[in-house]
Chains A and B, each alone.
Chain A
Amino acid sequence: MAQTAKKQDQTTGGFEHHPLDDLLRTDRIPHIWCPGCGIGPTFSATLRGILASGVDLGSTVMVSGIGCSGRAAGYVKLDSYHTTHGRAIPFATGMKLANPKLNVVVFSGDGDLFAIGGNHFIHAARRNMDLTVICVNNLNYGMTGGQAAATTPHMAKTTTTPKGNPERPFNLPLLAFAAGATFVARWTVLHGRDLMESVQAAMTRRGFSFIEVLAPCPINYGRRNKELPLVTLRNYQVNTIIKNEASPAELAASGSGPIVLGRFVDENRESFLSQYDKTYRPQLAPAGKE
């Protein structure tokens, strides 16, 4: 009885309408992500950023690859495409070029975007393709049970690096910047508001925007590296420093010293579509809206 009463207290009179419910396929919630998984808060900030940007939701699309993060496309109430492993970016590229009116968001994981999909990532960045790419970086392959990724810190334990990772991870913002991304930011799941604002900014600009989000994978990464989820979050809190416009070369996410967060790159360079239209389709110029 007491429980029922308690429950009543906490609800809005029976029907609880979360502010993001209109953007969720609520018939598919709860989602498949593990308790404490960082994909949820990243996804939620992404949705808030999309809403805040004021873009037309009817022409906003989410494209995902494969992996835990790739499932996001299945939960968003937008036109959404859950593609093949690593191929979200070229799929999204085709979609954006075929209908430039679409706002195309790629939401996927580090394994998907930077190992199997690394080639696509750098080329889309180089072209300054009109896409917003959000990468949930949880330092490993979660969906397949916690294998080493291109982002796994040196000496971290995963199922495929049982004695520690002999490799060196990517510095994702540096990679994105070097490849030509014109907007680069990095946040953690604790920085929901900053993340939301970066998504909002990315949605309303042209060209290739990249946002890395450090997010815990407590089940597969945390467990093997003796990191309880709240410890990971604590790390994001005490071991980070916000330095907008920091040089991307100084952004290695592991090693000694704090992890640098912020908006590092926000540069105006003509996007692929405006270059293409100018060069090849001058006849479309007046309507050449992206």
Chain B
Amino acid sequence: MPPVVLTGEHYMTGDEAIAEGAIAAGCRFFGGYPITPATEVAERMAHRLPGVGGVFIQMEDEIAAMASIIGASCAGVKAMTSTSGPGFSLMMENLGLAAITETPCVVVNVQRAGPSTGLPTQGAQGDMMQARWGSHGDYSLIALAPSTAQEAFHETIRAFNLAEKYRVPVLVMTDEVVGHMSERVVIPEASKLNVIERVKARGRKDRYRPFEPGENGVPPMAAAGEGYCVHVTGLTHDERGYPVMTAECQESMQTRLFAKIERNLDDIALTRGFFLDDAEIVLVSYGVSVRTCRAAMEEARALGYKVGLLQLLTVWPFPEEAVRALAGRVKAFITVEINLGQISLEVERLAAGLAPCFLAGHCGGTLISPDAVVEAVKRALKPGGKQ
């Protein structure tokens, strides 16, 4: 039988690294649907899961794929699906179900350029706001954005950990370039990996209330078949899980759904800083564009510009403090992302007028070149400079 954790050095794509991260994190159910450039995640799962006791099923569409992973998770099994733009749109309906029913699950979006069918085989980062707000209504969730195959492995594990810990859907927002690029991935020994399990329901079965918050505001979860006789609904519900159609119940439920994320930002919102100590210009980026920024930063520093980089490993909830803390002391922020301005709006909001904000972005289909970022740095430093 193949090992669960493929400890060792590998040469693999980001998509494959995501699949390996998922299996290492304990994912044992994958419901998928083929789509470029995410298909390789499903293919690897189809190949790997049965060997570790899991199940892979190719569903009839992405709506079904998303529904199936919520069902699997409610049966107590860590579950994932993967997709790209068009499929991501179809998943939005049940993403809301996962949010309101607080069902842990992981959804990978290997982004390609859109809208609609767009450029299926070419990367973009245009789904970032959809990731945050794509399903209807107000809700909170978590989205991570790996920039390398190695990060894809680790961030997928982190995605499962956060999903289970906070009973929330977690998105892994990668992109075609990271997904399809083969590079070195080092997989540690299983014992070195931090894998978190959901807090399970315990105690008297007749007293259990499926949505009564426990520690951190997260209710311990009972799976189907464990004897807790739960009722779970996508309607607004009280702590018993029973539908209650009142504004009061809506408020108490929603408030807690937001609070369990917001109160734990320190644990969730991960960033990495490069040369921030003396930076005058801070590049803010995530996913594949971080790689552009690292090259641009070197180039700019060689030219004498004090450029730093804030990498957002967590994009949602937005790592507000990280930007706020820099806003008072830098000359400008430049958000580098493959879209026409999505996360840049968040940066602008948090800079709150303390530092001018610029965007180095484009419509997708190719990477942003480091030169374009260096040019943006120069423009930002010009008095009255405009992107």
Contacts and interface: CB of A to CB of B under 8 A. Distances in A.
Contact of B231 (A74, A93, A98): A74
Nearest to B50: A280
B229 A77 contact: yes
A284 B53 contact: yes
Interface in A87-140: 87, 89-99, 101-102, 119-120, 123
A281 B53 contact: yes
A99 B76 contact: yes
B29 A98 contact: yes
A82 B233 contact: yes
A175 interface: no
Nearest to B31: A94
A232 interface: no
A97 B242 contact: no
Say whether chain B's binding surface is mostly helix, strand, loop, or mixed.
Answer: mixed
A101 B60 CA distance: 24
Contacts of B259: none
A17 interface: no
B70 interface: yes
Contacts of B50: 276, 280-281
Contacts of A120: 60, 63-64, 67
Contacts of B234: 66, 82-84
B247 interface: no
A106 B225 CA distance: 16
Interface stretch (A5-13, A57-65, A155-163, A213-221): A57-65
Contacts of B225: 58-59, 61, 79, 99, 101-102
B233 A98 contact: no
- Name the interface size band of chain A: 35 or more
A123 B75 contact: no
B295 interface: no
Given A74-B242, A90-B64, A94-B71, A25 B231 contact: yes
A271 B33 CA distance: 21
A4 interface: no
Contacts of B31: 90, 93-94
Q: Please indicate which of the listed interface residues A80, A81, A83, A96 has the most CB atoms of chain B within 10 Å of its own CB.
A: A81
Contacts of A284: 53
A73 B29 CA distance: 24
B224 interface: yes
Interface in B85-106: 93-94, 96-97
B75 A94 contact: yes
Given A97-B55, A99-B75, A28 B242 contact: yes
A63 B234 CA distance: 12
A78 interface: yes
Contacts of A268: none
B232 A90 contact: no
A94 B224 contact: no
B19 to A, nearest CB: 16
B302 interface: no
B68 A93 contact: yes
Given A98-B71, A99-B76, A281-B50, A83 B97 contact: yes
B319 to A, nearest CB: 31
A164 to B, nearest CB: 32
A89 B67 CA distance: 9
A97 B64 contact: no
Given A94-B29, A94-B68, A94-B71, A99 B77 contact: yes
A144 interface: no
B355 to A, nearest CB: 43
B60 A91 contact: no
A3 interface: no
B210 to A, nearest CB: 10
A283 interface: yes
A9 B235 CA distance: 40
A90 B63 contact: yes
Contact of B67 (A28, A80, A90): A90
Q: Please indicate which of the listed interface residues A79, A82, A83, A84 has the most CB atoms of chain B within 10 Å of its own CB.
A: A79
Given A74-B231, A98-B29, A276 B67 contact: no
A95 B97 contact: no
Q: Please indicate which of the listed interface residues B60, B61, B67 has the most CB atoms of chain A within 10 Å of its own CB.
A: B67
Given A80-B232, A95-B75, A58 B53 contact: no
Contacts of A28: 242
Nearest to B223: A99
Given A99-B77, A281-B53, A87 B63 contact: yes
29 contacts: A25-B231, A58-B227, A61-B225, A66-B234, A74-B231, A74-B243, A79-B230, A80-B230, A82-B232, A84-B94, A91-B67, A91-B68, A93-B64, A93-B68, A94-B31, A94-B69, A94-B72, A98-B28, A99-B75, A99-B76, A99-B77, A99-B224, A102-B75, A102-B225, A120-B60, A120-B63, A120-B64, A123-B59, A280-B50
Given A83-B71, A98-B75, A99-B224, 13 more contacts: A25-B242, A79-B228, A81-B232, A82-B243, A84-B94, A93-B31, A93-B59, A97-B55, A99-B77, A276-B50, A281-B53, A283-B53, A284-B53
Interface of A: 25, 28, 58-59, 61, 63, 66, 73-74, 77-84, 87, 89-99, 101-102, 119-120, 123, 276, 280-281, 283-284
